[in-house]
Amino acid sequence: MITIRVINPNTTASMTDTIRQAAQAVAGPDTRIVATNPSMGPVSIESHYDEALASVGVLDEVRQGEQEGTDGYVLACFGDPGLHAAQELASGSVVGIAQAAFHAASLLGRSFAIVTTLSRTLGRARDLVLEYGFERQCVAYRACEVPVLGLDSDPDGAYRALLAECESTIKDCDPDVIVLGCAGMAGMCKRLCNTLHRPVIDGVAAGVTLVEGLVRMGVGTAKCGEFAETPAKTITGLLAPFTRE
């Protein structure tokens, strides 16, 4: 039995449910999905500020995951908040959904486009595309201008806006693959894929299959240097619970 902890970095439980379903839909028969969200942090992540704060909750969740026994982690926010810190904390592998989606998309064609929620988050997407090395494959950065929680509160309107943006992206840039830029879009992936007649990638599904594969291969994050276990450190003030002894 493989246990994968899928962490929704924001604190909105309904979004954690969406993520859980997307994860379970692609997990192998011998894989157990633990979908969860932290008890602290922003209700949605739509700015660099939100993302910096969300990283804290992600670390709390990885700490818990390690105590419960976890083979690998998926960070289910498209900014991959706290990824490198989580890789230090976890004994197995950790994959962010932007990272996962980029890898999956690049296996299916020459080019992909990101279609996300708010345009102000596209800067973070550019940073990640560069850091992970997909700057030649990613040919468009687009936003449907629906806020994250709007995906939940008005799913029909959100779907229409997202579809329209995907269609205009295809018309303008003709990417081989579309990458959805928010975990909250996971439930719309299949329908978009069928409508657009080209692969559409939800990073939650991509992340679960990648982590599952790494676990089957018996490998995890390299622990020989940068990602070696986080050393002991006193943390003060409000964050004192994060002290590592």
Q: Which residue, 82 or 187, has its beta carbon nearer to a second copy?
A: 82
Residue 1 binds to a second copy (criterion: CB under 8 A): no
Q: Binding pattern to a second copy, positions 5-34, x when CB under 8 A? A: ------x--------------xxxxx----
Instruction: Please pick, from the candidates 36, 87, 117, 169, the single residue that binds a second copy as defined by CB under 8 A.
Output: 87
H or E segment and range at residue 164: helix 155-173
Pairing of strands 72-75, 93-96: parallel
Residue 77 binds to a second copy (criterion: CB under 8 A): no
Q: Residues 6 or more apart from 103 whose CB is under 8 A from it? A: 132, 206, 210
Residue 206 binds to a second copy (criterion: CB under 8 A): yes
**Residue 221 phi, psi dihedral angles, 5° rounding:** -55, 140
Q: Which residue, 74 or 158, has its beta carbon nearer to a second copy?
A: 74
Q: For residue 136, what are its two tokens?
A: 């030649």
Binding to a second copy (CB under 8 A) within 35-64 occurs at: 38-44, 46-53, 55-57, 59
Q: Binding pattern to a second copy, positions 166-205, x when CB under 8 A? A: --------x-xx------------x--x---xxxxxx--x
- Measuring CA to CA, how many Å separate 223 from each of 6, 31, 228, 229? 22, 24, 4, 7
* Number of neighbours of residue 153 by Cβ within 10 angstroms: 11
Stretch that binds a second copy, among 92-100, 151-159, 161-169, 179-187 (CB under 8 A): 92-100
Q: For residue 238, what are its two tokens?
A: 């409000």
Distance CA 245, CA 233 (A): 6
Smallest distance from a second copy to CB 236, Å:
5
